[in-house]
């Protein structure tokens, strides 16, 4: 059993890794970034169609931000820095697109169901939906 203890914690290293604040930041960045996989997989399995939820993009921003901080302030490796320097741009853009898409949907005044912006009738109850530029129901 002594060999297990030596392998786990030996010469101030845990699992053979010299730990410090920036090493924890780097591993945390990897963990957050990798967790996107489970978020997207769960959302897709739940709806039985391919889905990329907003939480996927938030985890992308957080994980790549932590990895960029690790690269900038600890590793100071130009290749590693460049790999994460610009990844936030499409992540934020996707969040903007998703918010606009969600805001464009119409809520049914009768049942509250959400319908696409071009829908004339609620898919759930058949009620005429209000257009974005009026307070009157759309004419069918």
- Global pTM value: 0.72
Res 135: pLDDT:
54
Instruction: Classify residue 108 by burial, with Cβ atoms within 10 Å: 0-12, 13-18, 19+.
Output: buried
Is-contact 67 73, C-beta < 8 A?
Answer: no
With CA atoms as reference, report the closest residue to 120 among 138, 102, 93. Answer: 138
Dist CA 95 CA 79 (whole Å) = 27
Is-contact 84 92, C-beta < 8 A?
Answer: no
List helix spans (H) across the chain. Answer: 2-8, 21-47, 54-70, 78-85, 88-104
Walk along the chain (140 residues) and give the pLDDT tens digit of each residue.
Answer: 676 666 677 777 777 778 889 999 999 999 999 999 999 999 999 999 999 999 999 999 999 999 999 999 999 999 999 999 999 999 999 999 999 988 888 888 888 888 888 888 888 898 888 765 555 554 44
* Residue 98 phi, psi dihedral angles, 5° rounding: -65, -40
């Amino acid at each position: 059993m002594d060999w297990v203890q030596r392998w786990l914690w030996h010469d101030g290293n845990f699992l053979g890794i010299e730990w410090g604040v920036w090493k924890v930041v780097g591993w945390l960045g990897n963990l957050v970034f990798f967790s996107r996989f489970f978020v997207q997989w769960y959302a897709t399995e739940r709806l039985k169609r391919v889905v990329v939820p907003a939480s996927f993009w938030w985890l992308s921003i957080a994980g790549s931000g932590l990895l960029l901080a690790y690269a900038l302030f600890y590793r100071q490796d130009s290749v590693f820095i460049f790999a994460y320097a610009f990844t936030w741009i499409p992540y934020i853009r996707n969040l903007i697109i998703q918010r606009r898409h969600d805001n464009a949907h119409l809520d049914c005044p009768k049942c509250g169901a959400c319908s696409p912006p071009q829908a004339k009738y609620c898919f759930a109850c058949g009620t005429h939906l209000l257009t974005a530029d009026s307070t009157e129901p759309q004419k069918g």
